[in-house]
Amino acid sequence: MSHIAPNIVVACVDFRFQNEFLAHCNKQLGNKTFDYLTYPGASKAILDRKSRDAIFSAISTLVKIHQTEMVVILDHIDCGAYGGSVRFSNIKDEINFHKEKLTEAGELLTKEFPEIKVGLLIYNYRQNKLLTV
- 1 lies in some domain: no
* Number of folded domains that form the chain: 1
Give residue-wise pLDDT tens across range 2-36. Answer: 688 889 999 999 888 888 888 877 788 776 788 99
- 111 lies in some domain: yes
Torsion, CA 9, CA 10, CA 12, CA 13, rounded to 10: 80
- 32 lies in some domain: yes
- 28 lies in some domain: yes
pLDDT at 2: 62
Domain span at residue 93 reads 7-132
CA pair distance 28, 50, nearest whole angstrom: 30
- 2 lies in some domain: no
CATH number at residue 73: 3.40.1050.10
